[in-house]
Amino acid sequence: MSSGLLQAVGSLDVSQFWPTGRSDADTTKLILYVAEDAIQFKRDDQSPFVATKVFNDAVVKGRGRNKAIRNGKLTIRLQGIDAPELHYRPAALSTSEKKGLTEKQIDAFRDLLHDYRQYYGATAAKALHDYLGGFGEKIPGRAVTRVDTPNEVFDTYGRFVGDIEIDDGAKVVNLNHWLVEQGWAFPTFYSSMSDAEIEAFIERAAKARGDKRGVWKLLSSKIKAFDFDLLEPEENDLDILKDDKGPVLFPKLYRRQANWAARRKAKATRQSFQDYLATASNGRPDSCFETDDFLKNGVFSATPRGFDEFVKDGEKILFSPLELVFGEAQSTVLDADGNPIRAF
């Protein structure tokens, strides 16, 4: 486990969350104060926080190149959770996929590039909006993550991966934990997480599942045909909440199904969904570990598995969200000259 701790102190603009904005319940933006000491690092729990400026002009190189801080904002991926999608657009065709396709097939695929949603995505986003709105329009908070080096901070899409904490007036609330406790999000584990972080979510999710809160009432064990008519709601379109209940796939599986379904409908692939899971459009299928194996043996000794192993015939789901730990795609943090940033 990393002994260092990084914090980014700033404020949350509640209006960014649906229904007043587009943010859903597991990705947000932490708006940093202009203060020089907004991002701070300490090497261990006995050391004081020291301001760091290594991310000021940094770029995160992963599946693309993204500024670490854009217009004074950090994009946060809430670690350890995944909420039903409010707006997911299928991944674009890769160069290799386009080879052999006709213009008609490519155009048909482009016509399917809309922002799709899952049932309960709007409900979960509104719950977070309303909870935070009880503290004001803009509320102080901080994003925290256990890391020792800059390369551990961001995911492959340039998002700061960590927990967001706010003060509700009586105690510090970890929003990641709160969302899982209330059943607004599923626990979703990655190999970058420590045992303690995973176990904290297991405890909270087990209770939410036992009480059948929120998403646990709707979690589907079968993969049904993709619904191309379920689209991102307009801002403040509260009428959709009346019908925002239906079978909910584990969000990571939903995103893979969306990618495949658009390709299949456009006749850009002949693969079954099961085969697609095993190969992926980018040639890098999802790897994972069984949670018990990961916690017992660690990332270097646990047995790597393929995500497709936990789906049968492209239809039956053989896992619970608590049972898998996914491999974290790599990223590199570069300075303004393109050199790797190796230390705070």
158, 68 Cβ separation under 8 angstroms: yes
266, 109 Cβ separation under 8 angstroms: yes
Tell whether the torsion through CA atoms of 330, 336, 338 and 341 is positive or negative.
Answer: negative
DSSP string, 332-343: EEE-TTS-B---
Residue 27, pLDDT score: 84
What pLDDT does residue 1 have? 74
For position 171, what pLDDT does the model report?
Answer: 96
Residue linked to tokens 């039903």: 84
**Amino acid present at 128:** L
Per-residue pLDDT of the chain (344 residues), as tens digits, is: 789 999 999 999 999 999 999 999 998 777 876 577 899 999 999 999 999 999 999 999 999 999 999 988 999 999 999 999 999 999 999 999 999 899 999 999 999 999 999 999 999 999 999 999 999 999 999 999 999 999 999 999 999 999 999 999 999 999 999 999 999 999 999 999 999 999 999 999 999 999 999 999 999 999 999 999 999 999 999 999 999 999 999 999 999 999 999 999 999 999 999 999 999 877 789 999 999 999 999 999 999 999 999 999 999 999 999 999 999 999 999 999 999 999 99
Phi-psi domain of 53 (left: phi exceeds 0; alpha: psi -120 through 50; beta: other): alpha
First to last CA, the chain: 18
pTM of whole model > 0.85?
A: yes
CATH class, domain 5-334, is mainly beta
pLDDT at site 29: 76
Report residue 141 as tokens. Answer: 């908070």
205 three-class SS: helix
**What is the per-residue pLDDT for 37?**
86
Three-state SS for 281-325 is CCCCCCEEEEHHHHHHHCCCCCCCEEHHHHEECCCEECCCHHHEE
In this structure, what token pair is assigned to residue 214? 């929120």
Phi/psi of residue 66, each to 5°?
Answer: -130, 140
Nearest residue to 10 (alpha-carbon basis) of 137, 173, 141, 122: 141
